[in-house]
Structure 1
């Protein structure tokens, strides 16, 4: 997946655009998280008076929506792919790569669109939905079933990337997995299964977990949803 080139403020002409303001905001969030973003800091980043920034984005909420929009714009779906399962796997892998490239933006990707009615969301945010629906209806699924597959896929992806990015190891220097994950703090009698899986938990591999989850999800959906080709 080719990353969309980021626009830059033209230092020579002094041109400031919505894209250049949002690019600066994305860079601020990438460095310091959402809590590091303020309208004052954003104005400093583009080298302008805050009023110039307000001409392009009316408030911080609009900036956060725009940051999510910029990242979603980098996610592409090929609705003409004849193999819907392979295409959805590609989309899932690309979404994970975007999340790992912009880990501090992930909470915005998950929550910001939900704060706006569907029809008022930016087209870049809605485009993956439209293209996945097109992919699946071309494959022969009914519209409601195509929507169900989209919701199941992205619900899984949001949960996966949040889990992967927040996975913490208490004592990375330890070789014993129970101690490494801090599971020794849990009473063995109350949590025997969790402690028994210490080695599996310590061997967490985000890419492998994604593929395993997709195996289960996509095989299950293909098996239970009506499809004209069967």
Structure 2
């Protein structure tokens, strides 16, 4: 009788990769050691040889996704570096919309998580800003990226509406701007508006540096 196929050895990398596939497919709430074990065709208890607990597993997933971020060219102009970081965050967020909220709400624990932060700080420094201004523009930029991408990924995963609908019942006398801009608000193009927000942040930094 011919021997059966050899089972691939279980490794931490395989466990984390499978956890990411599970989250990408079914959301963070779907992640459990039992379901992960079933996906890998192993007993759930055997997973603990590779990750101490679920929290460590989630940290591993975050690290794996962060590693997908391509760093900017340090020789590029500062504004090009900021655009690159922003576009990389958006690319990874759209590739892993269920994971992005974890990236946005958990403090990095390894060097790969701090790399984009260092890149943003360095870009603002290269713009000619001092310490206080670097920090102010960094926090503003990070808050924008986080908020914009949380909104877009929530629309992708069904956790939020994909458009901003202004009720017809709103009184135009009380809400004139909402009524005037209702159609534009309802047809928001996430890519266009994201790029516009990035350019506003760059313009603000350039203006601050020129004073």
TM-score of the alignment, normalized to the shorter chain, above 0.5:
yes
Partner of 2:104: helix, strand, or coil?
A: helix
Deviation of 1:163 (Å): 1.7
Q: How does 1:175-190 map to 2 (within 5 A)?
A: 181=165, 183-190=167-174
TM-score by length of 1: 0.77
Q: Does 1:133 align with 2:127?
A: no
Aligned 8 A contact 2:69 2:89 in 1: yes
The separation in 2 between residues aligned to 1:60 and 1:203, in whole angstroms, is 39
Aligned 8 A contact 2:121 2:138 in 1: yes
Aligned 8 A contact 2:124 2:205 in 1: no
Deviation of 1:147 (Å): 4.0
The separation in 2 between residues aligned to 1:136 and 1:77, in whole angstroms, is 15
Q: How does 1:47-66 map to 2 (within 5 A)?
A: 47-66=41-60
Aligned 8 A contact 1:43 1:49 in 2: yes
Deviation of 1:81 (Å): 2.5
Aligned 8 A contact 2:85 2:116 in 1: no
Question: Which runs of at least 4 in structure 1 moved beyond 6 Å after TM superposition?
Answer: none
> Which of 205, 208, 215 is the matching residue for 2:192?
208
1:158 aligned residue:
146
Aligned 8 A contact 2:72 2:81 in 1: yes
TM-score by length of 2: 0.83
Q: Does 1:36 align with 2:30?
A: yes
Unaligned runs of 5+ in 1: 1-10, 171-179
Aligned 8 A contact 2:72 2:84 in 1: no
Aligned residues: 202
Return closer, same or farther for 1:160/1:215 CA change in 2, 3 Å cut-off: same
Q: CA RMSD in A?
A: 2.5
Unaligned runs of 5+ in 2: 156-160
The separation in 2 between residues aligned to 1:144 and 1:42, in whole angstroms, is 46
Deviation of 1:142 (Å): 4.2
The separation in 2 between residues aligned to 1:77 and 1:14, in whole angstroms, is 33
Deviation of 1:138 (Å): 5.4
